[in-house]
């Protein structure tokens, strides 16, 4: 984990390895991996992507935060209802978001990972939103925008992967692996949004 700065334990509210047990089974995870066509090759491509993205994480976050800040219907969920953005909230989430980029590229997708996926899901819903950072923002990130942000979270990563001297084919392969990883996670995060029996 040498590429992870700041140290995990120094990121406020980051509880990887200490989250509650996910109700999603490893067998369900395997099916989902098959649905997004995620295989060993993708895991290896993500590890390489992690090396390329490390050191660029702050710039990636600048891009994503710029995107969210520019859209009132998105920044609302980092704000007091009907009010102003909460600077401490944006800042605290930002550190965990940076760590998420590293986790997505380097962590094995095992039980511990599944458990933290569940925690991230809950942090977007009334179950845990606002709790970690003790803020009074909106109660839920709407499911439709959670799904929609797959696009900016994916397409904006391309220039960061392409910056170092990799072939166009390799960049393309890493992009696909990244897309699979993000869609896989959003599919997992949709669970606490779904009606009984529909997830």
Binding-site residue total for a second copy (CB under 8 A)? 42
List the one residue from 24, 60, 105, 153 that touches ligand HEM (CB under 6 A).
153
Q: Which does 102 bind (CB under 5 to 8 A by kind): ligand HEM, a second copy, none?
A: none
Which one among 100, 160, 178, 193 touches ligand HEM, defined by CB under 6 A?
100
Nearer to a second copy by Cβ, of 11 and 180: the residue is 180
- Which is nearer to a second copy, 86 or 184 (by Cβ)? 184
**Cis-peptide, bond into residue 6, ω within 30° of zero:** yes
61 binds ligand HEM (CB under 6 A): no
Which of 71, 110, 111, 159 contacts a second copy by CB under 8 A? 71
CB within 8 Å of 142: residues ≥ 6 apart? none
Q: How far is the CB of 115 from a second copy (least distance, A)?
A: 17
Contacts to ligand HEM from residues 165-194, by CB under 6 A: 182, 186
DSSP per-residue codes, 89-156: HHHHHHHHHHHHHHHHHHS--SHHHHHHHHHHHHHTSTTTTTTTTT----S---HHHHHHTHHHHHHT
**Could you write out the DSSP letters of every residue in 13-44?**
T--TTSSPPPSS-HHHHHHHHHHTT--HHHHH
In angstroms, what is the C-alpha Rg of the chain?
A: 16
Residues that bind a second copy (CB under 8 A): 28, 31-32, 34-37, 71, 73-74, 125-126, 140, 142-145, 147-152, 154-155, 168, 176, 179-180, 183-184, 186-188, 190-191, 193-195, 197-199
């Amino acid at each position: 984990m040498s590429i992870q700065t700041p140290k995990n334990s120094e990121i406020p509210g980051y509880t990887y390895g200490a989250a509650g047990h996910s109700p999603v089974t490893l067998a369900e995870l395997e099916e989902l991996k098959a649905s997004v066509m995620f295989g060993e090759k993708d895991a290896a491509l993500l590890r390489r992507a992690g090396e390329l993205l490390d050191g660029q994480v702050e710039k990636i976050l600048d891009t994503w935060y710029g995107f969210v800040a520019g859209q009132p219907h998105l920044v609302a969920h980092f704000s007091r209802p009907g009010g102003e953005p909460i600077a401490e909230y944006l800042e605290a989430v930002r550190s965990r978001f940076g760590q998420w980029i590293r986790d997505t590229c380097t962590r094995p997708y095992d039980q511990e990972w599944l458990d933290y996926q569940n925690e991230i899901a809950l942090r977007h819903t009334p179950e845990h939103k606002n709790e970690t950072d003790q803020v009074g923002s909106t109660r839920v990130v709407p499911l439709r925008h959670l799904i929609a942000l797959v696009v900016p979270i994916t397409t904006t990563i391309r220039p960061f992967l392409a910056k170092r001297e990799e072939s166009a084919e390799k960049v393309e392969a890493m992009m696909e692996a990244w897309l699979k990883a993000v869609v896989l996670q959003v599919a997992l995060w949709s669970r606490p949004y779904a009606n009984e029996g529909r997830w």
